[in-house]
A and B are shown apart, each in its own frame.
Chain A
Amino acid sequence: MSPVLRVDELSVQFRLGTETVHAVRDVSLRVDPGEILAVVGESGSGKTATALSVLQLNPVPPCVYAGGEIRLDDRDLLRLSEKDMRAVRGNDIAMIFQDPMTSLNPLKRVGAQVAEVLHRHQGVSRASARAAVPPALAEAGIANPELRAELYPHQLSGGLRQRVMIAMALIGRPRVLIADEPTTALDVTVQARILDLLVELAQRRDMAVMLITHDLGVVAEVADRVAVMYQGRVVEDGSVSEVFGAPADDYTARLLRATPRLERV
């Protein structure tokens, strides 16, 4: 299968005054349709900078895309105009963020926020965009979607808000979903259900998912392949069973050892 998204030798720098921070160094990644690629690493490892680069959401300046390519099919996203890039966001590639509390507009009903995505990105009329909202919420696992669409973000729990974010990301039927720590702010039981939902949606829609996380437990549960980042580089990548079973890189091994695991009978 050919990858839908390929990152080739990407380098991203942040130039602050005379100082240059090499946030991403020669990073290469690929994701196939229907596959979940986990990008793991600790804070400052460059995983979020890489993810934001795919959508070119890093602030320029200070960010500089210093080298490499980001290919969606055969287009290099780094060469697209801002106008063309805007057409890619939300249509071909969508993103969900860590904190569902701050990613939603507190003054608008959630249904209207989901509809707006469709209206803005795909030029669907407001009326038909609104009609598309309940099925989209239902697909994200929200019960009573007609009722929930009329609520404001503060009336929903953290788990439901993250489901709204997922519905919003998926309503444009993207081929690639970038999920940046989507369950970090959630309780474990809620996290388990959201992860199940992501796996199910990736399979059902044959969607490529790039899952950014610091939690190796989450990687082991849901990912097909994993790329381990450290100080801006991918130090190891491979199938989850290979990397966890026999980490080739010293940092990966140390990270695995440092991860506390719950021993069960």
Chain B
Amino acid sequence: MSLVELDNLRKEFGTGRQAVPMVAVDDVSLSVTEGETFALVGESGSGKTTLTRLLLWLLEPSSGTVRFDGQDLATLSAARMRAVRRQMQVVLQDPYSSMNPRMRVTDIVAEPLVTHEPGHRGRRARGKLRATVGELLDAVGLAPDVQDRYPHEFSGGQRQRISIARALALRPRLVVLDEPTSALDVSVQAQVLDLLADLQRRFGLTYVFVSHNLAVVQRIADRVGVLAGGQLVEVGQAAQVLRTPEHPYTRALVDAVPHPDPVYARRRKAAS
């Protein structure tokens, strides 16, 4: 079953004074199945970030439709929209700038709960809130006693775990992961990827995973869509697209990935 359906989605920027608008997303149609990990790959400027903003309805498309669980997001009332929003969450690339440095971990992770669930507001709800946050932190592999600490006390990998806990607070169905590991060291990256796979199984999550790292995509994604110049040039099973790319752009992208095996890397160099 499709959780997200994008139909002929188009986004133009700078339509005001400029004669020729910049087309950031150009006629993209795709669907994301419930429970899968769908990866969006492409280089800077390819439109992958704009596409996720449209999908999350943080930007409205110039034309085309976004459906979440069968509902056309353009037609929803404010109340219905709020109900949809809590089902879709996002984890951003930079674990340093994506949390308020003056807030404690409890309040960072609890913010979506406080916003969306009145029962978690106020002093009386504090105990319940801390218990919920404790469970969330436990789910992402952090000790419950980190609650009273501030973001600067954590490493990049730990912060990304906090971001993930925050994204899971409302038990969403969809999590958009925008380059969630590209700011992390490889050994930490591996741990965060393992955690994401584990959480997906436990909570039945659907992931849209934005990345420029094809090796990471191959490891985590079921399907992959390749963006170039705002267009979806290739889409299919991750194993197939990355091993036997059809589109010349995908092939160029795959060929450019450095291979951490000198024998293979040298051979490739000699061949070219």
Contact = CB atoms under 8 A, between A and B. Distances in A.
Most chain A beta-carbon contacts within 10 A, residue among B242, B244, B257: B257
Given A214-B185, A221-B265, A255-B187, A263 B258 contact: no
A255 B190 CA distance: 10
Interface stretch (B7-15, B74-82, B208-216): B208-216
6 contacts: A217-B265, A256-B260, A259-B215, A262-B254, A263-B218, A264-B254
B252 interface: yes
Interface string B238-270: 000011100000001111111111111100010
Contacts of A214: 185-186
B18 interface: no
A220 B260 CA distance: 5
CB-CB nearest 4 A-B residue pairs: A217-B258, A260-B215, A187-B43, A42-B185
Contact of A191 (B185, B216, B258, B261): B258
Nearest to B183: A43
Nearest to A244: B262
If over half of A's interface residues share one DSSP class (helix, strand or loop), that class is named, otherwise mixed; here it is helix
Interface in A217-262: 217-221, 240-241, 244-245, 254-256, 258-262
B253 A218 contact: no
Contacts of B185: 42-43, 214
A244 B187 CA distance: 17
Contacts of A256: 260
B44 A158 contact: yes
A265 interface: yes
Contacts of B269: 221
Nearest to A264: B243
Interface residues of B, number: 35
Most chain A beta-carbon contacts within 10 A, residue among B212, B214, B262: B262
A182 to B, nearest CB: 13
B262 A241 contact: yes
Interface of B: 43-44, 156, 185-190, 193, 212-216, 218-219, 242-244, 252-265, 269
Contact of A189 (B218, B242, B253, B265): B253
Contacts of A219: 260
A188 interface: yes
Contacts of B212: 187-188
Given A195-B258, A258-B187, 15 more contacts: A187-B43, A188-B214, A188-B258, A189-B43, A220-B265, A221-B259, A245-B262, A255-B187, A260-B186, A260-B189, A262-B259, A263-B243, A264-B242, A264-B254, A265-B243
Interface of A: 42-43, 158, 187-192, 195, 214-221, 240-241, 244-245, 254-256, 258-265
Given A158-B44, A215-B258, A258 B215 contact: no
A65 to B, nearest CB: 27
Contacts of B263: 241, 245
B186 A188 contact: no
B256 A258 contact: no
Contacts of A216: 186, 260
A218 B186 CA distance: 14
A244 B257 contact: no
